[in-house]
Structure 1
Amino acid sequence: MSSINKSRREFLKATAVSSVALSSLGLQLNIANVNAAGVSDYKALVCIFLAGGNDGFNMFMPTSEAEYNTYSSSRQTMAIPLANILPVNNVEYGFHPGMPEVQSLFNNNNLVIVANTGALIEPTTLDDINSKTVVTPIQLFSHRDQEQFWHSLDPTGQYQTGWAGRLEEKNYAAVDDSLPINFSLSGNNLWQSGSNSVPYTMSSAGAITLDDIDAESSDPTIQQRSAVFNSLLSKEYTDPLMQHYADTQKISNVLSEKVDTALALNNNININWPDNKVSAALKTVAQLIEAKTSLAEQNRQIFYITFGGWDTHGNQLESHQQLLTELSQSLQAFYDATTAMGLQDSVTTFTASEFGRTLTTNGDGTDHGWGNHHLVMGGAVDGGKIVGKMPDLTIGGDDDYSDGRIIPTTSIDSYGATLTSWLGVNADALNKIFPNLKNFPANEKDLKIFV
């Protein structure tokens, strides 16, 4: 069994909460098995959360003369020169020059743009805001609050469960001690947390295990420590908390060995992976997908990766290019991996971010915005197009809340519901998973992302 060296504090932060919550009902885990819902085909969602607030309006930009001039005027020193924008088929828009792989994915109909998406409780216009006739999410431009809203979509601000966690609990029957459908390579998170369940958390290197606990070690000290630890776990305790911890740790040991064994046996995807952290995480996701049969034959899986560094208040032109290049190269490699497995039509990858950036500049960067563009990639998408409504990028225009903070026209509820529908979840369940969905028109509950 592989082991990740971590201090006790680091280990507890990364795994203890999820290990305990994973067995929050003792051995009766609230874990998903899609087969129980009568689903036989395999599908997976992969979320890449661009933490900090990606500048989507410098990721995908207009190329027609009139709209580019508006963009350039609003963005000032942040504007990408028109000659550098990577044009695409069918629409007068293009990608940032650091994203040739994403340009290719779009032109090959394997990627769509979901336009001007953001935190909304109900349809919102500037007139609605000015007349105070609309409810908006609390603390709109706060990293923490907007990340939590994206994860939970809770208009009350209680933020107790996430929509991927609710998806698991409301649609898939619980079974013994199998792995959940929710996997996180970025620690415990609200998005994948339900009332009685959390994701299985791991790292890009594999399962996270206790340091220096290994019964098969050649070190006598570690052998002795492991024997004592396993002896403590095997005891029966009258204290319910102690018994709960022992039961949880035993299950964690079993699942860790199952995951690492599966990863070791499924490392045959012959892809040139870029040398960066998000690519390393996606490579592990690809291995987990390849290992789906040995991991309890799950037919639905949801993966979560946090990709940080997008809070570009300074040095944006340089840092944003680096981030977009890393994202673009990693997306292409992951798509190639799913194609090598013959699963490109069964895996959909999408981006998320707590908010966009201001169109205006603070001199060397941008500030916290609202609406944003997102990417959805996979063989099942109806690619090479823009889904949703592109905004007017005029400073002081009808779509500008203030200082170039663009009011979103596509809600996160609609975005998430469309992705979730692709998994096979019905309309009744969608309204329970997405609390604000009922506030939006019927045509926004299916954004036509998929073929």
Structure 2
Amino acid sequence: MAKQSRRQFLKTSLARAAGITTAASLGLHLGLGKRVLAQSSSRFSDNKALVCVFLFGGCDSYNLLVPTQAGDYQTYKGVRQNLAYSPDQVRGISPNSTSPYSVGMPTAASALAQLFDEKKLSLVANIGPMTQPVTKAMIKNQPSLLPPQLFSHNDQQGLWQSGLGYTGSSTGWGGRMADLIADTSDPLSMNLSINGNNLMQAGTIIQPFSVDASGPEQMAALDPTKDWNARRIDVFSRLLEDVQHPFERAYASKLQSAAQNNERLIQALSSVAPTEVSYNEDNNLAQQLKMVARLIASQQALGQPRQIYFVGMGGWDTHDNQSSVHPQLLQYLGHALQSFQQDIDARGLAQGVTTFTMSEFGRTLTSNGDGTDHGWGGHQMVMGDAVKGGEIFGRLPSLALNSNDDMGDGRMVPELSVEQMGADLARWFGLSEPEINTIFMNLNRFDANALSMFKTYV
């Protein structure tokens, strides 16, 4: 074997270490500047966590809320055709406030309906990315009011996660929130992802730290809990400390920080009691949320009064086989959210945890023969004890084709914006109104108080 120089050995070691940690953990932007001063999270005397559940693919939420009265149901069935649930497949729900028509949820979503009945969960009706309030007539006269690249998965995921109304952003609204309130002396990010790198948690200062659903991962062959690794760890540490080039030093610092943060999380989790709630082992979203519940239970030990989590579930791009696939997706989602909420309740943390869904777009009301195509507005969910449960916030749109809500082929024009929902979540999280307006640059074009989803904002 050819003899390696110190620089070659370090380069190889860094590459191998990078391969067993995530890009988010290492913060591969390699920023060399010092963090700017931000208001410390020490301003908070309580613990709160936001949990974003991203439904990748575009959830057909118009088959989540199904009209139950005869006339409204016939309108729904006539538009949805072979995708319509039969009346005996729908369980009625009773929102606290009045809606244009009565609705229920499919029996496949019985866990979600139960959470709704228990006042743990509410719906946000017909929401989507916009830069200003729009109507069907406005869009016809000025098509530029449509979101850029409306039917593109990646672009619409970016619009939901950035909250800025334009594509190509390098920061998300969860990341910008963290930029304003995170303790900049804490090397562990308050934004923790169980679903890899994402735009929503990326800030200018704060980057998300990734954790696997099974827990923080020790770097291979560098696990300090194994005695036989001591010499290897010592050598590796000295090599990292001996680098000279600025980029090598920055990269070495990221490796050291990732290892230290993993060890810190492992130690904090070691004090968390096992859950007594049953999570489906074959449900990947449930396993992600199970880890989130454990991490939130360690929030005090970590010394982080505010945390934002990101989990995800794919499969919602139901162009085909929707009649068989969509009920399964609703069932998996419902069971995962129900188990998580039960776990949070059992741990006595329910008042400080709010879970919400996002998905790049709703889908067409019309059937393409075997499924639905990309739409615009859709319904989202918000869950937690602090939430006004059992509500449908906003207005349910007409399900008749060519109505004022339909911009074509059953694609709904949103009535609420991503910014309005994000602003209300941020308000509950403890951010001030000037901070909220800094995060959501288009918020002043909307009614910032149109959504009041929480019982209290203290």
**Same-fold status (TM-score > 0.5):** yes
SS at match of 2:421: helix
Instruction: Check 1:380–1:263 CA distance in 2 against 1; reply closer, same or farther (3 A cut).
Output: same
- Partner-residue secondary structure (3-state), 1:428: helix
Find the counterpart in structure 2 of residue 102 from structure 1: 112
Q: Which residue type is aligned with residue 438 of structure 1? A: N
What stretches of structure 2 of length at least 5 have no aligned partner?
Answer: 1-14
Aligned to 1:389: 395
Q: Which of 291, 300, 310 is residue 298 of structure 2 equivalent to?
A: 291
Are residue 112 (structure 1) and residue 119 (structure 2) matched? Answer: no
CA distance in 1, matches of 2:407, 2:308: 34
User: SS at the partner of 2:310?
Assistant: strand
- SS across alignment from 2:324: helix
Does residue 139 of the first structure (1) align with residue 149 of the second (2)?
A: yes
**Alpha-carbon distance change, 144 to 133 in structure 1, aligned in 2, over 3 angstroms:** closer
Structure 1 residue 181: Cα displacement? 1.5
Q: 1:363-402 maps to which residues of 2 (within 5 A)?
A: 363-402=369-408
Q: For the Cα contact (< 8 Å) 1:32–1:168, is it kept in 2?
A: no
Matching of residues 254-269 of structure 1 within 5 Å: 254-269=260-275
User: 2:218 matched to 1:214?
Assistant: no
Secondary structure of the structure 1 residue equivalent to 2:52: strand
Contact 1:370 1:405 in 2 (8 A): yes
Contact 1:22 1:199 in 2 (8 A): no
CA contact (8 A) 2:219 2:259 kept: no
The Cα shift of 1:271 comes to 0.8
Pairwise CA distance, 1:29: 8.9
Q: Matches of 1:286 and 1:79 in 2, distance apart?
A: 35
* 1:245-278, Cα deviation, whole Å (9 max, x unpaired): 1111111111100112222321422111122111
1:389 is displaced (CA, Å) by 0.9
**Of 412, 416, 439, the match for 2:422:** 416
Amino acid at match of 2:176: R
2:288 is matched with 281
Hey, what's the Cα distance between the residues in 1 that align with 2:390 and 2:383?
Answer: 10
Does the alignment pair 1:403 with 2:419?
A: no
Question: Residue by residue, what CA displacement relative to the aligned partner does 1:307-344 show, whole Å, maximum 9, x if unpaired?
Answer: 11111111111111111101101111111111111111
Matching of residue 158 in structure 1 with residue 168 in structure 2: yes
Of 434-443 and 340-349, deviating more is: 434-443
1:230 Cα offset (Å): 2.4
State the AA in 2 paired with 1:364: D
Q: Secondary structure at the match of 1:345?
A: helix
Q: How many pairs align? A: 436
Please give the TM-score of this superposition, normalised by the length of structure 1.
Answer: 0.91
- 1:368 partner amino acid: H
Tell me if 1:340 matches 2:346: yes
SS at match of 2:312: strand
CA distance in 2, matches of 1:299, 1:23: 27
Q: More displaced, 85-94 or 280-289?
A: 85-94
Distance in structure 1 (CA, Å) of the matches to 2:416 and 2:76:
20
Counterparts of 1:408-447 in structure 2, within 5 Å, are: 408-444=414-450, 447=451
Query: In the superposition, relative to structure 1, how do residues 89 and 18 fare at CA in structure 2: closer, same or farther (>3 Å)?
Result: same
Q: Which amino acid aligns with 1:184?
A: S
2:159 maps to a residue whose letter is F
Which residue of structure 1 lines up, in the alignment, with residue 324 of structure 2?
Answer: 318
Summarize the Cα distance change of 1:216–1:328 in structure 2 as closer, same or farther, 3 Å threshold: closer
The partner residue of 1:83 within 72, 78, 88 is 88
Distance 1:10 1:68, change over 3 A: farther
Give the drift of 1:306: 1.2
Q: What is the alpha-carbon distance in structure 2 between the residues aligned to residue 315 and residue 263 of structure 1?
A: 41
Q: State the match for 2:47 in structure 1.
A: 42
- Name the SS of the counterpart of 1:303 in structure 2: strand
Question: For 2:307, what is the secondary structure of its paired residue?
Answer: strand
Native 8 Å contact 1:33 1:180 kept in 2: no
Q: How far did residue 217 of structure 1 move?
A: 3.9
Cα deviation for residue 124 of structure 1 reads: 1.1
Q: CA deviation at 1:402?
A: 1.4
Corresponding residue for residue 136 of structure 2? 126
Which of 306, 310, 330 is the matching residue for 1:304? 310
Q: SS at 1:72's partner residue?
A: helix
Taking structure 1 as reference, are residues 17 and 398 closer, same or farther at Cα in structure 2, changes over 3 Å only? same
Q: 2:269 touches 2:298 (CA, 8 Å); kept in 1? A: yes
Conserved? CA contact 2:40–2:181, under 8 Å:
no
Contact 2:51 2:356 (8 Å CA) reproduced: yes
Aligned to 1:169: 179
Change (3 A) 1:108 1:20: closer
Question: Quick one: structure 1 residues 22 and 285, their matched pair in 2 at CA, closer, same or farther if it must change by over 3 Å?
Answer: farther
Q: Check conservation: 1:314, 1:365, Cα contact below 8 A.
A: yes
- Give the stretch that moved more between structures: 25-34 or 111-120: 25-34
Matching residue of 1:20:
27
Residues 194 and 288, structure 2, Cα contact 8 Å, conserved in 1: yes
Q: Deviations over 1:39-89 (max 9, x none)?
A: 101111101000000100001122122221111111111111122111112
- State the alpha-carbon separation in 2 of the partners of residues 9 and 59 from structure 1: 45
Return the letter of the residue paired with 2:171. Answer: T
Distance 2:20 2:162 in 1: 21
Distance 1:10 1:334, change over 3 A: farther
Query: For 2:248, which of 222, 242, 251 is the aligned residue?
Result: 242
Deviation at 1:292, TM superposition (A): 1.0
Give distance in 2, aligned partners of 1:383 and 1:412: 20
Moved more, 80-89 or 205-214: 205-214
Does the 8 Å contact 2:27/2:207 carry over to 1?
no
TM-score w.r.t. length of structure 2: 0.90
Q: Distance in 2 between matches of 1:443 and 1:433?
A: 16
- Tell me the distance in 2 between the aligned counterparts of 1:311 and 1:14: 29
- Secondary structure of the corresponding residue to residue 437 of structure 2: helix
Change (3 A) 1:13 1:436: farther
**SS of the residue aligned with 2:311?**
strand
